[in-house]
């Protein structure tokens, strides 16, 4: 963060026609974005685009979810037809939706709005072998970096993370356990809503994968290759790419949170560009956010993914910056200050 812009933004917040500190967390957001842009006020974070990275998971074979694997491809078709919640939320806040096939098992028809970037046909079952090779992990990270670059080149001034992949919360749990040292039982959640038996089994699957690979958090790409997902890898790249371009990126739920652990391990300064859009109902998400030092803006028990929670936070971030840009100061408005 640019220190002069940070100081300018703090000073301006204190001179704006409102009690000091009365915008709470949104004052911090506006200061962060000034520091990121190296300018006070920073540009309005619009237009915005949400990139929904889609991939499948070999660990699905272990029965960690009651949803069939083909739902990943079916939901991608639903996104492209405009019928999913991410489309409704994006329409409400004026964001573009871009879908990236980074590893869906099915071959997908070319469709406007779909970026074909398949690195492989789903990951391997991490309880039996590494989810992917190190080279594949790097390629998937690069897909994310390039997606961020292309969306910014197209004029977007705020990026939003999205994801789709049946069984992807199992990979999240393994990643979060590996990077935070938490027990699998603490970071594994019910995802789309599994029953007690499946939940206990899911925790066991995560534990077995970690026992097999003993992922080393000092080697983030190794962790990603062993127990990650292709969309997690792409999201890590997306978070790094946005930060390198000094463009803010709003993180959705536990998938983005676990990808952010990878990205922060690769480049800790990238965090300066990240805003936690919401806190999902998945227990691992809160643990990941605490580890990252990020405070979520929305907390409404969402557990859908797709980018939905982050899209809800977009107007909050935009409002924070707009206030810094447009609100009069006590001097300029002729308003008396307190005695």
Q: Which residues bind its own copies (CB under 8 A)?
A: 16-26, 65-68, 70-71, 74-75, 77-78, 81-85, 87-89, 91-93, 192-193, 281, 297-304, 308, 311-312, 315-316, 318-319, 322-323, 325-328, 332-336, 338-339
Residue 8: φ, ψ to 5° = -60, -45
Nearest partner of 71 among 122, 111, 110, 117, judged by Cα: 122
Residue placing its CB nearer to its own copies in the complex, 25 or 200: 25
- Which of 46, 231, 282, 306 is catalytic? The answer is 306
Give the ranges where the chain is alpha helix by DSSP (H). Answer: 3-15, 25-37, 71-81, 85-93, 134-153, 168-180, 184-187, 196-213, 220-227, 230-244, 254-266, 283-292, 308-326, 330-333
Nearest distance from C-beta of residue 43 to its own copies, angstroms: 14
Nearest distance from C-beta of residue 268 to its own copies, angstroms: 26
In the residue annotation, 135 being an active-site residue is answered as: no
Distance CA 141, CA 244 (A): 14
- With a CB cutoff of 8 Å and minimum separation 6, the contacts of 320 are 23, 26, 27, 29, 30, 33
Residue placing its CB nearer to its own copies in the complex, 200 or 333: 333
Nearest distance from C-beta of residue 280 to its own copies, angstroms: 9
Looking from the CA of 296 toward its CB, the CA atoms found within 13 Å total: 27
Residue placing its CB nearer to its own copies in the complex, 216 or 326: 326
Residue placing its CB nearer to its own copies in the complex, 20 or 290: 20
Nearest distance from C-beta of residue 132 to its own copies, angstroms: 26
Token pair recorded at residue 100: 């990236």
Identify the H or E element spanning 51. Answer: strand 48-55
- Catalytic residue numbers, as ranges: 306
């Amino acid at each position: 963060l640019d220190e002069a812009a940070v100081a300018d933004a703090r000073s301006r917040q204190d001179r704006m026609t409102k009690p000091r500190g009365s915008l709470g967390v949104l004052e911090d957001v506006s200061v962060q974005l000034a520091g990121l842009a190296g300018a006070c006020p920073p540009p309005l974070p619009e237009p915005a685009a949400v990139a929904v990275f889609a991939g499948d998971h070999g660990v699905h074979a272990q029965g960690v979810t009651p949803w069939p694997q083909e739902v990943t491809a079916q939901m991608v078709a639903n996104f492209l037809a405009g019928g999913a919640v991410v489309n409704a939320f994006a329409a409400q806040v004026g964001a573009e939706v871009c879908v990236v096939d980074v590893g869906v098992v099915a071959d997908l028809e070319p469709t406007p709005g779909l970026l074909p970037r398949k690195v492989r046909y789903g990951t391997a079952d991490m309880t039996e072998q590494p989810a992917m090779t190190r080279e594949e992990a790097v390629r998937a990270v690069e897909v994310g970096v390039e997606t961020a670059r292309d969306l910014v080149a197209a004029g977007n001034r705020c990026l939003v993370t999205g994801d789709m992949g049946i069984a992807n919360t199992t990979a999240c749990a393994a990643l979060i356990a590996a990077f935070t040292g938490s027990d699998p039982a603490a970071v594994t959640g019910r995802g789309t809503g599994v029953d007690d038996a499946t939940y206990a089994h899911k925790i066991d699957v995560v534990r077995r994968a970690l026992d097999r690979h003993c992922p080393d958090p000092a080697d983030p790409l190794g962790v990603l290759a062993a127990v990650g997902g292709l969309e997690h890898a792409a999201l890590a790249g997306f978070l790094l790419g946005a930060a390198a371009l000094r463009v803010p990126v709003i993180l959705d739920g536990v998938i983005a949170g676990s990808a952010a652990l990878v990205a922060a391990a690769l480049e800790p300064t990238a965090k300066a560009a990240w805003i936690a859009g919401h806190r999902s109902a998945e227990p691992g998400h809160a643990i990941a956010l605490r580890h990252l030092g990020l405070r979520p803006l929305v907390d409404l028990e969402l557990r859908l993914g797709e980018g939905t929670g982050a899209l809800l936070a977009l107007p909050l971030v935009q409002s924070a910056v707009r206030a810094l840009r447009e609100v009069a100061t006590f001097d300029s408005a002729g308003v008396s200050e307190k005695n």
